[in-house]
């Protein structure tokens, strides 16, 4: 079921795709996709002819990606972004959709940056998407809330409704209510929480400098009615 929820909540996002396509075309192969999930970006780039390695800590998501890849030039790896050793180097290491803000604060980000630097070819780039600010809301108090994401699989309707974005001292908490309804009317409801660390583009560049990496530019991904905007920070080893 984790594959369905991941596809439902993340799979429809496409506003960042032009940035990743452009960077892959500019940097060339091979490409490393960190936090690849079920393959939203990996599969798109592979269909465009790129050689991509997809890395994620969730074996269920990676297995789904591998099955979807078929004969495409895709390799899959189950590993923690803070501690991996792949034995090869990449022209581009991508970290989409605020994955960098899920690594447990500055120590976790430093571990990732060291891993990424070790895996870069000469002239290679690490490109990291982050969101500095999120628009807070609470469904219990606000009249305008984002619409639910809904899909149907084998007769079961899945609905994921954003219910709140809250500020905490260390970051943001994103709350969703996940609901399923079967053909016979059986219903399940569960809450899902995601915590994102506070992080700015400048702060990430300073942290990267501490492990020997240099800023290599930024790109902007505009917000949509359903998704927050982000900044892509580029770094060189």
Q: For the residues 57-61, what does the mean pLDDT come to?
A: 97
Quick one: 120 and 51 in the same domain?
Answer: yes
pLDDT value at 138 more than 70: yes
> Residues 195, 200, 201, CA angle at the centre, nearest 5°?
125
pLDDT reported for residue 143:
63
Quick one: 19 and 120 in the same domain?
Answer: yes
pLDDT reported for residue 16:
96
Q: 192-206, pLDDT tens digit by residue?
A: 999 999 999 999 999
pLDDT value at 83 more than 80: yes
pLDDT reported for residue 206:
98
> How many domains is the chain built from?
2
Percent of the chain, pLDDT > 70? 98
Quick one: 98 and 28 in the same domain?
Answer: yes
Residues 221 and 13: their CA atoms lie apart, in Å, by 12
Q: What is the CATH number of the domain that holds 101?
A: 3.40.50.150
Mean pLDDT of the chain: 95
Q: And the tokens for 195?
A: 């915590």
Strands (E), 79-148: 90-95, 120-130, 137-138
Quick one: 64 and 152 in the same domain?
Answer: no
Quick one: 35 and 142 in the same domain?
Answer: no
pLDDT value at 142 more than 70: no
Quick one: 152 and 218 in the same domain?
Answer: no
Quick one: 222 and 119 in the same domain?
Answer: yes
pLDDT value at 121 more than 70: yes
Q: How confident is the model at residue 1 (pLDDT cuts 50, 70, 90)?
A: confident
Q: What is the CATH number of the domain that holds 157?
A: 2.20.25
pLDDT reported for residue 225:
78
Quick one: 78 and 115 in the same domain?
Answer: yes
For the whole prediction, is pTM greater than 0.75?
yes
pLDDT reported for residue 125:
98
> Could you give the C-alpha distances from 151 to 24, 139, 193, in angstroms and in order?
31, 21, 20
The answer to whether 200 touches 186, Cβ cutoff 8 Å, is: no
User: How far apart are the two ends of the chain, measured CA to CA in Å?
Assistant: 38
User: Whole domain around residue 33: which residue ranges?
Assistant: 2-132+199-236
Quick one: 10 and 46 in the same domain?
Answer: yes
| 52 sits in which H/E element | strand 52-56
Quick one: 215 and 125 in the same domain?
Answer: yes
Quick one: 8 and 76 in the same domain?
Answer: yes
Residues 160 and 137: their CA atoms lie apart, in Å, by 16
Q: 151-205, pLDDT tens digit by residue?
A: 999 999 999 999 999 999 999 999 999 999 999 999 999 999 999 999 999 999 9
Q: How confident is the model at residue 145 (pLDDT cuts 50, 70, 90)?
A: confident
| 230 sits in which H/E element | strand 230-236
Quick one: 9 and 37 in the same domain?
Answer: yes
Q: For the residues 119-140, what does the mean pLDDT come to?
A: 92
């Amino acid at each position: 079921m984790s594959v369905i929820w991941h596809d439902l909540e993340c799979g429809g996002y496409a506003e960042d795709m032009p940035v990743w396509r452009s960077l892959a075309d500019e940097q060339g192969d091979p490409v490393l996709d960190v936090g690849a999930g079920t393959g939203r970006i990996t599969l798109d780039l592979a269909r465009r002819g790129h050689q991509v390695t997809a890395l994620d800590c969730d074996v269920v998501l990676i297995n789904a990606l591998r099955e979807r890849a078929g004969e495409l030039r895709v390799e899959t790896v189950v590993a923690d972004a803070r501690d991996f050793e792949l034995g090869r180097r990449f022209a581009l290491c991508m970290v989409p959709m605020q994955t960098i803000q899920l690594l447990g604060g500055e120590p976790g980000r430093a571990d990732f940056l060291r891993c990424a630097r070790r895996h870069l070819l000469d002239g290679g780039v690490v490109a990291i998407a982050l969101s500095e600010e999120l628009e807070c809301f609470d469904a219990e108090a606000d009249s305008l809330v984002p619409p639910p994401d809904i899909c149907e699989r084998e007769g079961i309707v899945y609905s994921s409704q954003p219910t709140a974005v809250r500020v905490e001292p260390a970051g943001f908490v994103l709350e969703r209510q996940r609901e399923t309804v079967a053909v016979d009317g059986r219903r399940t409801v569960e809450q899902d929480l995601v915590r994102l660390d506070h992080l700015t583009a400048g702060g990430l560049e300073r942290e990267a400098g501490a492990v020997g990496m240099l800023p290599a530019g930024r790109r902007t991904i505009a917000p949509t009615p359903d998704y927050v905007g982000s900044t892509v920070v580029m770094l060189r080893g």
